[in-house]
Chains A and B, each alone.
Chain A
Amino acid sequence: MTAQSNETTAYTEPGIKGMVSDWVGDKQVFDMPWGKLMMWLFLLSDTFIFSVFLTGYMNVRLSATDSWPNTSEVFALTIFGSHLPLVLIAIMTFILITSSGTMAMAVNFAYSGNKRVTVILITLTAILGASFVGMQAFEWSKLIEEGVRPWENPFGAAQFGSAFFMITGFHGLHVTGGVIYLLVVARKVARGDYDKKGYAIVEIVGLYWHFVDLVWVFIFAFFYLW
C-alpha cells in the first residue's frame, strides 16, 4: 500500500517481484478471464478429491487381509494367441494422451481465429475421449464376467474390486462429463457464439481436459503399475 492510485497494467514483470506486485495492486491478481481462474480453482479442489481417493486406495491396500491381485495378470489380454499384460490400459493411456495433444492444438487454432479447424480438433478430442470411455466399459464388462465385483473378486483382496470400480468409475465420469462439455463448446464455436467474447472458453475446457488426462496418469501409475 504505497501509492494512492497505482496505475496498473494488465501485464507485469516475471519472477517473484512480479508476483508480489500482482498481489498488492488494485487490479485483477491473475491476468486471465474470470472463468479461467475459476477452472483453476476447481481443478485444485478436484486434485484434492483424487488425492484422497488414491490415498484411501493405498490405505485399504495396506489394511487388506487377503493378498493383493497381480494387476499385470488381471489386466492382461490374449490377442491372436499371444498373452499381453496391461495391453488395453496401454492403448487407453495412449489414446487419452493423444487427445491432450489434439486439445492443445485446438486451443492454438481457436486463438488464431480458425474456427473450422478448432471445431474439427475439439470434436476429434471428444471422439478420442469417448473411445477411452468405451474401452473402459469393455474392461469393466470383462472383469465383471470374470467375477470381479465391488465386494468380492476371485483374485484376492475384496478391496481390489472396490477401489478399481470406485476410482476408475469416478474418473470415467469425469471423462464422460468432459466429452459432453467438449461437444457443447464445439457446437458453440461452430455457431460463432464466441466471436465477441473471445475464445478463452476453448482454453478453459482444455484445462479441464488436460487435468483429466493427468489424473489418469496417476491412476495408471498407482493402480495398474504398482
Chain B
Amino acid sequence: MQNVAIADQTVELHDPQTFITKYVWSQDHKVIAIQYSLTAIFVGLVALVLSGLMRLQLGFPDTFDFITPSSYLQFVTMHGMIMVVYLLTALLLGGFGNYMIPLMIGARDMVFPFMNMLSFWVYLLSVIVLMASFFVPGGPTGAGWTLYPPQAILEGTPGSDWGIILMLVSLAIFIVAFTMGGLNYVTTVIQARTHGMTMMRMPLTIWGIFTATILGLLAFPALLVSAIMMLFDKILGTSFFMPALVSLGENLDYSGGSPVLFQHLFWFFGHPEVYIVALPAFGMVSDVLATHARKNIFGYRMMVWAIVGIGGLSFVVWAHHMYVSGMHPAFGFFFATTTLIIAVPTAIKVYNWVLTLYRGNIQLTVPMLFAIGFIFTFTHGGLTGLFLGNVTIDLPLSDTYFVVAHFHMVMGVSPVMVLFAAVYHWYPLFTGRMFNEKLGKAHFWLTFLGAYAVYLPMHYIGLLGVPRRYFAMGTTDFIPESAFTLNASITVSALIVGLSQLIFLYNLFWSLRYGKPAGHNPWGATSLEWQTPDVPPHHGNWGKELPVVYRWAYDYGVPGVEQDFIPQNHPVTDAEHTAGEPEGSKA
C-alpha cells in the first residue's frame, strides 16, 4: 500500500461472510453509519421526550406532580448533553460522515474499517453508560449541560452521587469513540480520494465533515481532560476546580481550585463543538440546494474557504460564553471582536446559498423545503448571535430565554432541518426506495412553522428578562401575566412539533416497505455517491474498478447536454470545450 498515488483497497476489505459480520460486527462503512444513526436517533428521541416534559412544567406550572424541581434540572441537563453530543455529533459525523465520505470521494471504505467498527461499539458503550444514569440512586446529573463546578459535584445538585460520575465517564468513552472514527475520516479524505478527485472537486458535504472532524480531534481533548479532572475532584477529593467553600453549613475539604479553569476548558471544547455540528450541516445543505435548484453552487471556492475559516476562528472565540463569569475588559473586547469576525465567513455562506437559489430551476421537493427552511432559521439564529457576541448586550441577556432561543435556533433547529433535508435527500440511496412525498411535506410544515411558534415568543420573553433554568417563574413584578400565557402557547407548539416527528418516523419505516422503487439517481445529482453500480451500494461500493472523476460536483443546468446535469465521472467532451468557458475556470 506504500507510495501509491491512488490506492485501491480491495485487499483490505474483509468481505462479510455471515449474518453477524454483515449486520452486527460489520466493518462496512455503510452499515456502521446506519448503526450510528439508529443509535443516535434513539437517544435523540429520549432527549425529545425530556424536552416535552420540561415544556409541560414551564407552560403549566403546578399541574404535574411527577416533575419536581430536581427532576426538572435533570431533564434540562440530559436534554442538552444528549442533543449536542450524542445525537448531533454522532449523527452528523458518525452517521453521515461514515456513509458519505467513502462514497463521495470514490473510495471503497474507510482506510481502517476495523477501527471504524470499534468506534461504533465504543460509542454504543458510552450511550449505555449515559442511559444507565437514569436508573442509579439519585438519578442523572442535574448540573446543567455545561456541568459547571463547584455545584456539579456538590450535594444539593440532583444526581451528585452517581449521575455526575456516569456522565463524565460516558463523555470520556464517547471521546475515545469519536477519536477512532475521526482519525479514520480525516485520513480517508486526505489519502484515499479516487483518480481525478482533487480537494477542490470534493462536494461541500465532504469539506464540511472533514473540517468538522479536525475541529473535533482538537477540541475534544479539552473536554476529556476536564472530565478527568472533575472525576478526580469528585472521587478522590482533589481540588482542581474546587475553591474553599461552605456547603449546607459545613466547611468542605476543598481549597485553592479554580472553577473558572473548568469554564475555559469546557468552552474551549464547547465552542468548536457548535461548528462540529454546524459545518457538516453547512456542507450538506449546499449540496441539497444545488441539486434541487438545478444550479451550480454559487462561489464554490469561497464556500470552501469559508468553512475552513470558520473552523479556524472557532478556536479563538470560546470566552464569549463566559462574559458573565467576569474577565478583564481587554479579553472581553478580544473575544467580542473575534466573535463578530466569524459572522463574515458565515454571511458569505448565507449569501451564496441565496445566490444559488437566485434564478435557479427550483424543485420544491421535501429535501429542498427543509434546506430553504434552514436558510431562514439559520439566518435568524445567526443574527441574534451578533447581539449576544457584544459584551454589554450579552450581560443582561445571558441568563434569560433569549439565549435559549438563540442557540436553539442556530444549533438546534438549523442542523436538525439539514438533517431532515439530508435524510430525505439520500433516503433513495440508503434504501433504494422513495419516501412518501405528502407525509414529508406535512412533516416539513409542522416542523418549520412549529419551530417558529416555539422560538419567536421565546426571544420576546427573554427580552422581558425571564430567567432560564428556573423550575417555575413564581410571582415576580417585572414578569407580566402575558409571559405565562406565552409560555403555555410555546408548550403547546412544542408538543405539536414533537409529536409531528412521529410522521417522520412512520414515513421512514412505511417507505422502507411500500415506497416506490427509486432507481438510479432519482434527483439527477452529479456527485459520486449516486453513480454506484448498485442502489443501495454494495460492500466495496464500486464493483471492479474505482470511478474516475473529471469535473467538479456542481455541473447542473448545463446548456446543450441531454439531461440538465453531468455526473462527476463523465469525461469532458470536445463540445463542452468549444461551447464556451473552459472547464477549469468554473470552480
Contact = CB atoms under 8 A, between A and B. Distances in A.
A164 to B, nearest CB: 11
Interface string B180-215: 000110110011111111111100000000000000
Contacts of A159: 238-240, 256-257
7 contacts: A1-B587, A27-B5, A29-B199, A44-B217, A45-B217, A52-B221, A150-B238
Given A5-B196, A60-B256, A166-B229, 12 more contacts: A10-B5, A26-B6, A28-B191, A33-B1, A37-B187, A38-B187, A49-B225, A51-B221, A53-B225, A60-B239, A151-B239, A162-B236
B584 A26 contact: no
A207 interface: no
Nearest to B583: A4
A66 B199 contact: no
Interface-central residue, B5, B179, B257, by most chain A CB under 10 Å: B5
A162 B239 CA distance: 8
A25, A27, A42, A64, most chain B CB atoms within 10 A = A27
Contact of A44 (B4, B218, B268): B218
Contacts of A157: 256
A45 B218 contact: yes
B198 A24 contact: yes
Contacts of A27: 5-6
B381 to A, nearest CB: 29
Interface string A12-43: 00000000000111111111111101100110
Nearest to A47: B221
B222 interface: yes
A2 B240 CA distance: 55
**Chain B contact residues: helix, strand, loop or mixed:** loop
A168 B2 CA distance: 37
Nearest to A197: B1
Interface residues of B, number: 59
Interface in B536-587: 549-550, 552, 572, 583-584, 587
Contact of B244 (A3, A62, A65, A161): A65
A219 interface: no
A112 interface: no
B479 interface: no
A56 interface: yes
A28 B183 contact: no
B256 A28 contact: no
A78 interface: no
A200 interface: yes
Contacts of A52: 221-222, 225-226, 265, 268
A63 interface: yes
B229 A150 contact: no
A212 interface: no
Contacts of B192: 28, 34
